[in-house]
A and B are shown apart, each in its own frame.
Chain A
Amino acid sequence: MISFFRLLQALCLLLLVSLAAAEHTSNWAVLVSTSRFWFNYRHLANVLSLYRTVKRLGIPDSQIILMLPDDMACNPRNAFPGTVYSNADRAVDLYGDNIEVDYRGYEVTVENFIRLLTDRLDEDVPRSKRLGSDAGSNVLVYMTGHGGDQFLKFQDAEEIGAWDLADAFGQMWEKKRYHELLFMIDTCQANTMYTHFYSPNIVATGSSELDQSSYSHHADNDVGVAVIDRWTYYVLEFLETQVTSANSKLNLGDLFDSYDESKIHSQPGVRWDLFPGGEQEGRLRTVVDFFGNVQNVEVENANATEPGSLKEDLAEISRLAEKWRKRGEEYSAILGNSTQSQSENKKSSSVGLAPKKTVGPTKMAEDNSWGKRLYKTLRLLQKAKPAGCHTTEQKALLVPLICSRLVAQKHV
């Protein structure tokens, strides 16, 4: 009987360990459109739709890398300026008022994409443009564009090969930059793109087999071009109608079972063999493991008293604060009151706070310098001209004026 209990206990522990191993701590999404030009409107719409979905399911902008090679919203051919729609009903403006494009226009290159994945970037590249994933991160990589057998074109100028992509993922795995990775690609002959992957913990899915095209779903006659691709459309349909909350229990198996070849008009593929446990295990991963942001929040029990609990820490912190205050007093007592301000300065720098200037709200009223007034008049004059176009003479005039304005502000 005792041995039975032991066994049970061991089993429970084993279960606990395996659960712990399956857990991830953050979610990242890399969403890439690779094509330029107005007639590729749908690729941009694909990516933006997916962007909207992952944001809806909770991945914050800081953990989404969005690469858009063109700006369809501001394209002169766009009949609905400032908007992008992925459906002819134009119910949802994907551009909205809150999108954060990390790589835009000519920044979307094969090199930058590989640098992003492997984090081989200049030191001055801001954090928002970096994939800061670690050994506990689940990463979603979605790509769309024009491709062929084992390649995907970037901006009609260059291409990324299936080997490059495989090597990039290999390096990510080597440096523990992902826990599990879901690779999705919507392009012609998409399934060839993931044939060379070799690093573990990857589930890959594509829209079409070798020698098959990926088709667009439908066109909006007013926009004048196709607005979304078929495979992406049905993936999104699943995500939007079935995965309604961040706590959804639907899994990848359900997502891939929802593929309907008669609707998609090509044969989507899934690659499981890199995933530990293969298809059986991989199917059980929930959709929000990749599309949502998992946060296992830990609520602090205000009444617990075990070591390391809130109460204990509070006691220690207040003791620390008390000591700190005493030391400060002693210090100022030693130095006398004359140097008190100095000691305070010293205190703050020893804390390791960067001696930052306090940036308070600037008073707008004090800004009524002559420079500003002149600038305003100039701006008024300028408004008569077509917006957004500076003639060179105007610019030349503007520069010293702006400078003088800045100087004036500084003196205030």
Chain B
Amino acid sequence: MTAKSGDPVSPTADASTPSTPSKSTQRVPAPESPQAIQTRFRVIAAFWAVIIFLGFPIWWQTTSIYRAHLPIQEMVDWADGKTCRPVYPLEIQVVAPSLQLPESQHLLRTTQHTLDDLNEFAAHHLRLKLTNDTNGSPARAGNDGTDTSDSNSEDAPDVALTVHVRPEEGLLAPRSELQPHTTQLDVFYPPSQIPSPSTSNPPLSIFIAQELQRLYGEEKATIAHILSGETTGLDSASPELTESISRRLRRSMKYAETYHLSFSLFTPGSAPSSWDIEGAVQEYLAPLLDAFSPISNFTIDTQVQLYATFSPMTPAPVYDEVEAAWTLKKEDLSAFINAAEWPLNPSIGSGPTLNFILYVPDPSQSPMIVKENRASSWIVPQWGGVFLLNPPLAQGQTSNPVYLEQDSLQSAFKTFSHQLLTLLGTPSTPSSLPLRLQTLIRVRAASLLLSASSTMGSLARLTESLPSIPIPANVASSVSTTLSHLSATCSHLREGRFNAALASARVAENEAERSFFEKTMVGQVYFPDEHKVAVYLPLLGPIGVPLVVGLMKEVKRLVAAWKARKRV
């Protein structure tokens, strides 16, 4: 090894091989003193110490992504439906004051038997229970049907329905009557048909079983439809029923804790410019909203918009001589709302907005109806409803009334109530509203359970598939809250406490959404590997090369020194 002249590295080369005298005639620098060698060693060691003990940990710390531990397997199991099979045992109280105890017990047993035979969707079954508490139960279950849980103790299942069995003279066959505003079914039977404990299949129990089956037919099909992933439903359900269920699920809003109801009065002219909206809401809407209170909350806002014109693309209404009215074609109704100009913005707060539009046509175009079926209202799925209000015009009067009285709003607000029921996904049978709302609670609990579970699955898959996404600790805690509430929901369902099930499913859904939409979990800016090289190379090149070369030389020197010592 020869040292090159003027090369600043040469002293090191010389120093590393002090035993071979230089043959060069040129002047070489004096050999380094051991002191200097030691200093240099220390300098290099210090640099490397800083890099290894300070630089590297800092780099590691700042570039690593915090990923909290998530129970991936458990989450996936929930999503796949392995952890929980939701079941719906509905408790039905049977009150038969006129029957002897053995008779009524026999009736109950045979009815239950027939019910179980009829049922083909095992997850949803009816459990009959005999009570003699004739005074207490109607008052308790009869209030609204939905607030039964308040009076019930914590662990008792909700009573879905009370069946009153009563004798009635002059009947040939048993008949039933559903009380429209309570959760009570009255069954009347001819006194001659009192089931004797000897008959195995009395006609009365068959009748009751069939009635109950009919009452819960739609609910059963809906829940089966939801639980099966909205692909198939019950085999026995008629195609019409399946179609109507899937249509209803399509047009109804997603479940939310709070809905905003926005009532808007639109008119193309200057009148009516005011309406008795407070009175109308109190009078026609408040009862319904009260009945919905176990399911969702509502906030209301209202507006009046004058000179609201159709968009230029909307086909104008046509005067129909036969109907003596201005008609809108059904296929043009989707363009009725002038989305570009009518101020129908969603509400500021969280939760979806349902829009209800009261349109008062200009007197020159009044009355206005839908051509096909003379209807004056329609539903826009997942958005709201429209009602055409044609105020009665006095002879020769050319302007609308300036103020709309509460009475003139009655039909509109009744229709809005109906539209609200539809948009919130209330099933159409049975014909008692409390029962329908109870069904809605069960249906909503099922869909929330599924949606929270599937969010868990999505989050698990996301965590696996995007290694660059950070997962903060609060996501982990949200996930555990979700999972615990999911299992609470599942057990509430199993024990027939549907209000409680809905409440915990709601928490599970909220927490699941929060964990998925965690703000800091933005896997932003993916760097391909060549970008990383491009970023690090200019940084590490100038620093790294001297460091590495210095280290190598020092190691080489040490190795040589060690060898020399060994030879000696």
Interface set of A (CB-CB < 8 Å, partner B): 13, 16, 20, 23, 25-26, 55-56, 58-62, 98, 110-111, 114-115, 118-123, 126-128, 132, 134, 136, 161, 163-164, 167, 170-171, 174-176, 245-247, 293-303, 306-310, 312-321, 323-324, 347-348, 350-354, 356, 358
Contacts and interface: CB of A to CB of B under 8 A. Distances in A.
Contacts of B458: 174-175
B528 to A, nearest CB: 7
Contacts of B113: none
Nearest to A247: B331
A317 B284 CA distance: 8
A42 B370 CA distance: 44
A31 to B, nearest CB: 15
A302 B282 CA distance: 24
B181 A313 contact: no
B375 interface: yes
A58 B524 contact: no
B290 A60 contact: no
B444 to A, nearest CB: 16
A347 B281 CA distance: 13
Contacts of B465: 170
B380 interface: yes
B373 interface: yes
B327 to A, nearest CB: 12
Across the A-B interface, the 9 shortest Cβ-Cβ residue pairs? A308-B428, A60-B339, A324-B287, A163-B526, A295-B334, A313-B418, A352-B297, A127-B346, A299-B378
Contacts of B307: none
A132 to B, nearest CB: 8
A297 B518 contact: no
Contacts of A348: 282, 286
Contact of B376 (A175, A302, A306, A320): A302
B130 interface: no
Contact of B462 (A161, A171, A312, A314): A171
Contacts of A59: 339
B286 A23 contact: no
Nearest to B429: A307
Contact of A301 (B251, B345, B375, B431): B375
B168 interface: no
Contacts of A309: 428
Contacts of B421: 313, 317
Contacts of A26: 382-383
A29 to B, nearest CB: 12
A247 B332 CA distance: 9
16 contacts: A26-B382, A127-B348, A161-B528, A175-B516, A246-B334, A299-B333, A300-B375, A307-B430, A308-B427, A313-B422, A316-B180, A317-B433, A320-B181, A352-B298, A353-B286, A358-B278
A118 B239 contact: no
Contacts of A171: 462, 466, 523
B287 A323 contact: yes
Contacts of B422: 308, 313
Given A55-B340, A58-B339, A296-B334, A317 B522 contact: no
Contact of A300 (B337, B350, B415, B517): B415
Contact of B350 (A123, A294, A315, A352): A123
- Taking residues whose C-beta sits less than 8 angstroms from the other chain, chain B's interface range is 35 or more
Contacts of B373: 299, 301-303
A356 to B, nearest CB: 7
A318 B375 CA distance: 20
Contact of A313 (B417, B523, B525): B417
A26 B379 CA distance: 14
A324 B523 contact: no
Contacts of B466: 167, 171
Given A295-B380, A310-B418, A174 B462 contact: yes
A305 to B, nearest CB: 11
B335 interface: yes
Interface string B271-315: 000000010001110111111110011111000000000000100
A175 B456 CA distance: 10
B522 A118 contact: yes
A199 B286 CA distance: 45
A312 B426 CA distance: 13
Contacts of A354: 299
B334 A16 contact: no
A323 B291 CA distance: 11
B377 A300 contact: yes
Contacts of A307: 428-431
Contacts of B284: 317, 321
User: Which of the listed residues B278, B296, B414 has the most CB atoms from chain A within 10 Å of its own CB?
Assistant: B414
Contact of A25 (B334, B335, B382): B382
B553 interface: no
Contacts of A111: 522, 524
User: Which of the listed residues A23, A56, A120, A313 has the most CB atoms from chain B within 10 Å of its own CB?
Assistant: A313
Nearest to A310: B418
Given A136-B382, A324-B286, 16 more contacts: A23-B250, A56-B313, A61-B345, A62-B344, A98-B340, A111-B522, A118-B522, A127-B347, A163-B528, A164-B524, A164-B526, A174-B458, A174-B462, A176-B454, A296-B334, A354-B299
B378 A298 contact: yes
B334 A299 contact: no
Nearest to B418: A313
User: Which of the listed residues A13, A175, A353 has the most CB atoms from chain B within 10 Å of its own CB?
Assistant: A353
Given A110-B525, A114-B522, A319-B181, A299 B370 contact: yes
Nearest to A350: B290
Contacts of B155: none
A354 B348 CA distance: 14
Contact of B330 (A299, A312, A318, A324): A299
A312 B418 CA distance: 9
B401 to A, nearest CB: 19
B433 A316 contact: yes
A20 to B, nearest CB: 6
A268 B2 CA distance: 64
Contact of A353 (B299, B380, B431, B519): B299
A28 B435 CA distance: 36
A120 B517 contact: yes
Interface string B473-488: 0000000000000000
A155 to B, nearest CB: 15
B521 interface: yes
Contacts of B246: 20
Contact of A351 (B290, B336, B419): B290
A307 B433 CA distance: 11
Given A127-B348, A300-B415, A313-B417, A13 B378 contact: no
A317 B339 contact: no
Given A120-B521, A313-B417, A353-B289, A136 B348 contact: no
B117 interface: no
Contacts of A297: 330, 333-334, 336, 378-381, 386
B186 to A, nearest CB: 17
Given A136-B250, A306-B428, A347 B286 contact: yes
Nearest to A163: B526
A294 B296 CA distance: 28
Given A134-B254, A247-B331, A294-B334, A317 B340 contact: no
Contact of A310 (B243, B251, B415): B415
Contacts of B526: 161, 163-164, 167
B455 interface: yes
A299 B376 CA distance: 8
Contacts of A299: 330, 333, 370, 372-373, 375, 377-378
B461 interface: yes
A56 B340 contact: yes
A60 B379 CA distance: 17
B378 A61 contact: no
B169 interface: no
A7 to B, nearest CB: 15
B374 interface: yes
